[in-house]
Structure 1
Amino acid sequence: MTWTESGTTRTVTADDGVRLWASRSGRGTPLVLCHGGPGLWDMFEDVAGLLGGLATVVRWDQRGCGRSERCAGPWTSERFVADLDAVRAHFGLERTALLGHSWGAQLALSYALAHPERVSALVYVAGTGIGPDADWHGAYEENLLARLGEQPERFARWLELTDRPQRTAEEERQRAVLQWTAEFEDRERAPELAERMADPWFGVNAECNKALNAERKRTWGTPELYTACQALDLPVLIVDGERDIRPRSAVDSLERALPRARRVILPDAGHLPWAEDPQGFREAVATVL
């Protein structure tokens, strides 16, 4: 266990022996955060600071990503749900609130469906709902290109890097930062905020990303998933940035299915709403903590 100024950093061992990085800080209601991706790492340092007075916040890097042990998978939602349960158990949490962002929102929802008795509340941030990819992915790609196209020189560089069959680690980072600028409504601050996402930089686990995205395309959008969400008897807070380039209408499917859902839309925020409206985000999350 390593002590840091913000709390404790620990190694959590999953049931198959893979080591996961985790960190705990703050005090109050337990809250486990699930980062986006797939294939990225925890970028919730600001969120932990924002919510530290409301909750005991647990952050972790998902298997094969960030500061967690590099491994060969398996890259399945079932495996990641089991890893999340290992994190919960490691910190001695009988029940915990979950906050998931983007892909992490899907993971947190999957965990709540599998283990509702271990979840006190779910905060679903900037997810894409429970429908098929056709509900949002085409519009997302159009919006991404339109946002990037607002800065022709940066757009040209992004296209150049995207078209390269092989990239160095620094080129991978540069391409990601350029793409992440599209995630923010505040176009002046977007480069700064995107750089913050990449500091520190651990590299994207492309294999993990490809496998879990393919799994979602096969298994999401089914009547069985909708029925399972209808039976989820937990308080769920859905938080969206209205200016997210993923159409927020995709989340309507989840809101309709859940029996105890409340939705907050932050009008001046994009895909990372805490970065552009921290007060609104904190006030929203506080209602379920």
Structure 2
Amino acid sequence: MTRAVGDRVETDDGVRLWAERSGPDGTPLVLCHGGPGLWDMFGDLTGLLTDVAPVVRWDQRGCGRSQRCAGPWTSERFVADLDSVRRHFGLDRMALLGHSWGAQLALSYALARPERVSALVYVAGTGIGPDADWHPAYRRNFLARLGEDPERLARWRELTDRPRRTEAEDRERAVLQWSAEFADRERALGLAERMADPWFGVNSACNTGLNEERRRTWGTSGLDAACRRLDLPVVIVDGGRDIRPRTAVASLERALPRVSRTTFPDAGHLPWVEEAQGFRRAVAAVL
């Protein structure tokens, strides 16, 4: 039986989160969207996985369709929120799929509560090393790719430098920035427009808080040791043309005891968009 059920999840500190379960009966795959500060954009992915597994989507604290709140913007709090989603849907264990920042969140949850996770799909993350492993190269690659169209780059810089932007300008800037995430340059702007429809606005406080926490806490020997003890199946899925260097993910791949990795050479940061059937097979294999 296939259905979509929208719901409101209440966390242990009283914040309401938007969530939706769709697909056939059975134990669902729980999706963790990217950001930080964005919202679930997994509509196409959910449709792709219709006959693979039921899916639970949710918007993280303070983002998208979830209740606006003042945080706290910590991975510990977001792990607790994800556990509230699990309990709300009556799941003893769950498979997790996290994309970009959501891959970090899903991994953090698996490390904190491994008994609640059956499998992890880690998509387009940046590994467990420090930001120096990937961020400088990401910045260079972003400017180079967006600079393939000088007018787009100039407009993005103009909007970025404005001390104040309207909501429409925020959306325009995001679409230009997200267009660099796709390897298919002819379709990139249109694909980025799809990401921004509907538009809920970026939660900049959330983005700043969680990124600052990552810079302080990621890249430690303790994190590496914790990953080496993580006894559950993990599949790492990459796009070979992601502007974040894929070499950074080797830090995680080396540490995990039960890991496989699939890289789609011609895909960017959202590999299910540009390599749909290959991505579907990779997820189905681990489930």
TM-score under structure 1 length normalisation: 0.98
**1:249 aligned to 225, 247, 250, which one?**
247
Alpha-carbon contact 1:130-1:251 (below 8 Å) kept:
yes
Gaps of 5+ in 1: none
Alpha-carbon contact 1:116-1:232 (below 8 Å) kept:
yes
- 1:194-228 alpha-carbon deviations (Å, 9 max, x no partner): 00000000000000000000000000000000000
Q: 1:127-166 maps to which residues of 2 (within 5 A)?
A: 127-166=125-164
CA distance in 1, matches of 2:257, 2:281: 22
Equivalent residue number for residue 67 of structure 1:
65
**2:5 aligned to 4, 8, 29, which one?**
8
Report the CA distance between 1:6 and its aligned residue: 5.4
CA distance in 1, matches of 2:278, 2:190: 21
1:77 and 2:75 equivalent?
yes
Alpha-carbon contact 1:101-1:124 (below 8 Å) kept:
yes
Alpha-carbon contact 1:33-1:100 (below 8 Å) kept:
yes
Report the CA distance between 1:165 and its aligned residue: 0.6
Alpha-carbon contact 1:29-1:54 (below 8 Å) kept:
no
Alpha-carbon contact 1:18-1:63 (below 8 Å) kept:
yes
Alpha-carbon contact 1:39-1:208 (below 8 Å) kept:
yes
TM-score under structure 2 length normalisation: 0.98
Equivalent residue number for residue 221 of structure 1:
219
Gaps of 5+ in 2: none
1:23 and 2:48 equivalent?
no
Q: 1:123-202 maps to which residues of 2 (within 5 A)?
A: 123-202=121-200
Equivalent residue number for residue 95 of structure 2:
97
Alpha-carbon contact 2:171-2:196 (below 8 Å) kept:
yes
CA distance in 1, matches of 2:101, 2:7: 23
CA distance in 1, matches of 2:113, 2:28: 16
- 1:38-97 alpha-carbon deviations (Å, 9 max, x no partner): 000000011111112111100000000000000000000000000000001100011010
Question: Which letter maps to 2:158?
Answer: E
Alpha-carbon contact 2:103-2:124 (below 8 Å) kept:
yes
Alpha-carbon contact 1:113-1:232 (below 8 Å) kept:
yes
Q: CA RMSD in A?
A: 0.8
Question: Which letter maps to 2:254?
Answer: R
Question: Which letter maps to 2:8?
Answer: T
**1:47 aligned to 24, 32, 45, which one?**
45
CA distance in 1, matches of 2:157, 2:286: 42
SS at match of 1:287: helix
Report the CA distance between 1:24 and its aligned residue: 0.4
CA distance in 2, matches of 1:283, 1:81: 28
Q: Which runs of 4+ in 1 moved over 2 A?
A: none
- Percent of pairs identical after alignment? 77
- 1:251-285 alpha-carbon deviations (Å, 9 max, x no partner): 00000000000000011100000000100100111
Q: 1:53 to 1:69 in 2, by over 3 A?
A: same
**2:33 aligned to 32, 35, 40, which one?**
35
Residue correspondences, number: 285
Question: Which letter maps to 1:198?
Answer: A
CA distance in 1, matches of 2:8, 2:29: 18
SS at match of 1:8: strand
CA distance in 2, matches of 1:269, 1:148: 16
